Amino acid sequence: MNRRPNSTERLEIFPLDRLRALGVQSPATRARTEEFVELAKAGLPQMFRKDAFAHTVRPVRTRSGPWVQPEGDSLRYATNVALGLAYVDEDVQREILAGMSAADLARLTAARGELSDDPGAVALAAWAAAEAGNFFAAPLFKRLSVLFASNAPVDTVDCAWTLIAALAANHLGDTRVLATYAAERLMHEQGPSGLFPHKLPASANGRLRAHIGCFADQVYSIQGLARYSVARNDASALASADACALRICELQGSSGQWWWHYDTRTGKVVEGYPVYSVHQHAMGPMALLDLREAGGTAHWRAIISGLAWLDEHPEVNKPLVAEREKVIWRKVGRREPNKAVRAISAFTTSLAPGLHLPGLDAAFPANRIDYECRPYELGWLLYAWLSQGAVEGLRPRAAG
């Protein structure tokens, strides 16, 4: 007789609750991550302003104590938040959104997306419409289809978001061709190291930066291809996602840092800083958990190490998690003018792979906190830990 799996084994077989799965690996990390989730719920209302989300918030001091001041407006960030809030209780959604639901916010962002010239915002809005709003944003998908049919250069992140949007909406409308095209473009441009360039084709990024890919290019490509592998039972897509994930995990810093810029030719780090908090608590875990749930390699050690950096970062001795302000500060970066080290490192590595100017770390130390927080960071935190990614994102939802 076959032995019935125990609860821990069943969780490994049916990994639908990400926080519970994390708790199997590290109860302490699960507890801390749950605190981050609650902080995100508490912090988002101060970023919401009249049917829209600010671009960022920065700290100010008042007589009553610390506070954050919202600045600007961002369509992209509002869609990120809609996706994250879709997985919290509706009463919490309405508290955060002044009476609206996540589905309502998705409809607003879809309408704004029709007027946007930003392909990334259009793709995100189409994704949120399908997953958070459960409706097919036909005008947005038409625009994306025209863009991809033209074979014009496209940002890697925008391509990955288009792929995920097409997969999320597959049960609502005809997106099969668009998904196939986006997935094929990603896999065609993947470097020999397993890493993805910043633009597709890579040459569109210019001679001095054609070899560069940032962390976002990697994680959204992993996420999109992992989901594509589930939707199409495509082993090559899963292998591509697996190869990229393996490389970024091999390159992860000794304190859990997810580095910023990579050389797609050699699979080495071009420039590590800034280290972004959202990479640590949301984007890195989100991609790696999608990969695991799609049947790829589990990278729990890298996920847990990345989360630990938020509290135990060697670069600075001040906290990044701001409980009173209800935010997680954006990044730790270098004291440098105009991203000088990035420019220098991109130039030297374009001349010769692995060539770095000595003394840059000493001249431009990474000891500066960027005291701001953007809504998408908290939205992605909710989405990373409360959604079920590759499994749930491809399952048709009941109409509502």
> What are 65-117's pLDDT values in tens digits?
778 999 999 999 999 999 999 999 999 999 999 999 999 999 999 999 999 99
Burial 17-51 (b: 16+ CB within 10 A, else e): ebeebbbeebeebbebbeebbebbbebbebbbeee
Residues 321-368 have pLDDT tens digits of 999 999 999 999 999 888 899 899 998 998 888 888 899 999 999 999
Residue 396 has pLDDT above 70, yes or no: no
Q: Are 278 and 381 in contact (CB under 8 A)?
A: yes
Strands (E) in the chain, as ranges, are: 48-49, 52-53, 56-62, 65-71, 154-155, 199-200, 212-214, 261-263, 268-271, 275-276, 321-322, 327-328, 331-333, 368-370
Cα dihedral sign for 111, 112, 117, 122? negative
pLDDT of residue 3: 38
% of the chain residues with pLDDT over 90: 84
pLDDT of residue 11: 40
Beta bridge partners of 53: 48
The yes or no reply on domain 19-391 and CATH 1.50.10.10 is yes
Cα dihedral sign for 258, 259, 263, 267? negative
Q: Where are the domains of the chain?
A: 19-391
pLDDT of residue 353: 87
Number of H helices, E strands in the chain: 19, 14
- What is the Cα gyration radius of the chain? 20
Mean pLDDT across the stretch 263-292? 97
